[in-house]
Amino acid sequence: MGFGSLSAIQGAAAPDSNASTACIELKIGPYLIATTTSYGPRIVGVWRGESPEMLARLPEHLGIELPEGGTYRFHGGHRLWAAPEVPAVTYAQDDHRCEVATTANGLRITAPADTAGLTKEIRVGLEDDALVVDHQLINEGFEDVRIAAWGITQFQLGGTAVLPIGGALPSAGPQADRSVVVWPYTNLTDYRISWMDRAVLVDASPGPKLKIGSGPRPVRLGYLLDGYLFTKTIPAAGEGDYPDRGAVGQIFVNEHFCELESVGPVRTLSPGSSISIRERWEITECSDLPTACDRVMDRGSL
């Protein structure tokens, strides 16, 4: 199957200790995955062949100041959050040691319960020519919590993000079948936003923060950088409640990074129960934006 063994690579100092950051890499089929045991669960790098380092690596001071004091550090890479965005739950610090282990078909990263009582786990495996990334939130507390799984991938600036606005064809009828969702700080006249027939493009250059989302079935999100296209296929919205007005696919950009985000349904988790969300990642060579848009929006995304 082409699965490698875990191997350590050199890292920097952990933000909350004097121990060195233990970075780990694993070959999974044609992909190379990098993670760490010093914080997370977090995927800090993903490559295929000669692809560049697409994921962001951020300075330790960059993060969110917490109401009770301290900072949630972004670090960069791919992380798992809990939605809706409630500071005491969503921003629970993850600067603690994680367990990283190989599985039958890839990698598992597990963190201890955080201050919100949630245990987070990310599993990465191979299916066909893509990485399958499973996220799980487990309620280890003593009370019910109502949350959704939220997968967030931070990219280096300099590329273009593609957000499909998938819906039925015009012949399907006169009723509304899709939505575009914007956040209070988003300026729709921002020069970085471009509108296509069935997609929104976001130029990931530094500037004021903006966020835009779509639902119920964008199918996949894309990021084109330096001749390579990263796509993540995400679940369509189903029955039940969803955060952010049903925007299951989201793009965020600010002065430091660009994010591709997927959000699952909100569920009430009793102690010991869990919720999960799956993404499918692919990296392919891609020389131009029209080709990237075609790839992101194909196979049922219109």
Q: Which pLDDT value is given to residue 24?
A: 93
CATH number, residue 128: 2.70.98.10
Q: Look at residue 8 and tell me whether its pLDDT is greater than 80.
A: no
**Secondary element (H or E) of residue 33:** strand 31-36
Model confidence pLDDT, tens digit, residues 47-76: 999 999 999 999 988 999 888 888 999 999
Nearest to 264 by CA among 161, 180, 148: 148
Query: Range with the lowest mean pLDDT among 140-149, 162-171, 232-241, 253-262?
Result: 162-171
Number of independent structural domains in the chain? 1
- The reported pLDDT for the residue numbered 167 is 64
Q: Is the pLDDT of residue 7 over 80?
A: no
Alpha-carbon gap, residue 204 to 61, rounded angstroms: 21
Say how far apart CA 140 and CA 143 lie, in whole Å. Answer: 9
Residue 215 located in a structural domain: yes
Q: What percent of the chain lies above the pLDDT cut of 70?
A: 89
Structure tokens at 156: 């280096």
Contact indicator for 203, 276 with CB cutoff of 8 Å: no
Range of weakest confidence among 7-21, 32-46, 104-118: 7-21
Q: Is residue 96 part of a domain?
A: yes
Question: Is pLDDT above 50 for 287?
Answer: yes
Q: Supply the pLDDT for residue 247.
A: 97
pLDDT value at residue 4: 58
2 occurs within a structural domain? no
pLDDT at 77: 97
Strand order through the sheet with 106-110: 99-102, 106-110, 118-127, 130-139, 274-285, 228-233, 220-225, 160-164, 199-203, 193-195
Specify if 273 maps to a domain.
yes
For residue 132, give its domain range: 7-296
Mean pLDDT value across residues 100-129: 95
Greater model confidence, 26 or 3: 26
Whether 43 is in a domain gets the answer: yes
More confident residue, 14 or 183: 183
Per DSSP, 11 falls in state: -
Residue 239 reports pLDDT greater than 80: yes
On average, the pLDDT of the chain sits at 90
pLDDT at 12 over 60: no
Q: Does the structure show a pLDDT above 80 at 173?
A: no
- The answer to whether position 1 is within a domain reads no
- Residue 67 has what pLDDT? 81
Identify whether 301 is part of a domain.
no
Does any domain span residue 275? yes
Entry pTM: 0.91
Q: Band of the pLDDT at 169, cuts 50, 70, 90?
A: low
Task: Reply yes or no on whether the pLDDT at 166 is more than 80.
Answer: no
Task: Write out pLDDT tens, residues 18-40.
Answer: 334 668 999 999 999 999 999 99
pLDDT in tens, 187-196: 999 999 999 9
